Amino acid sequence: MPNANGNADGVLTIALKLVPLLLGYLFFFGWTFYYYYFASFGLDERFVDIGFYDTVVKGLTVLLHGNIFPMLLVLFLFLAVSAFLKAWWDKNRWLPDVILLAALLVIPVCGYRLYRRAGLEQATVDQGPNTKLPNIVFKQAGASMVGKLVYLKGDTYFIHDVRQDRDGRPVPNEHESLHQLSILKASELSDVQVIERGE
């Protein structure tokens, strides 16, 4: 039977092994969210090329602020308990391995479905009147334009619902139901102003 120090070492080892696994899950969940969010705008997430850190942070923020937190918390706890059981139990016992394998399979499957739904729901909100996307006003070929800034990558703007701005009022878009996304280079624009919601 392992001594107290052996058990403590085993638990610590398992806990440390969970850290990269957790980061991997958060990256996968964040990528899933971004993929379906941008796909709703007709944009391939690979073209946007969001970095590892930002993807992990998105996975964490959606987890903490969304309705999916309680369910995924239970799944993560299930995984943690399984790992600690494995550290304490006799190595010849098969039950901890089965529990751990089940947790490793269940978490990404459930997380994928939940983050997919979260990405689609957020895209629906951002394409509607209650969007939290910042306004962007700019001039293109001498014309004043207004839209919603979806993403900025380097010198490339991804702008939703671009319309001509007349006297501070956007002209109604006859193709509004298409949720058009415009991809514009900074060199094509002038007098760019990004106005956060609430300003």
Q: What is the pLDDT of residues 34-78, one digit of tens each?
A: 999 998 888 877 778 888 999 999 988 887 776 666 666 666 666
For 194, the token pair is: 């990004």
What does the pLDDT read at residue 187?
A: 84
pTM exceeding 0.85: no
What does the pLDDT read at residue 175?
A: 46
Tell me the DSSP string of 167-196. TTEEPP-TTGGG--EEEEEGGGEEEEEEE-
User: pLDDT tens digit string along 70-99?
Assistant: 666 666 666 666 666 666 665 556 656 666
The domain limits of the chain are 4-126, 135-195
CATH number, domain 135-195: 2.30.30.100
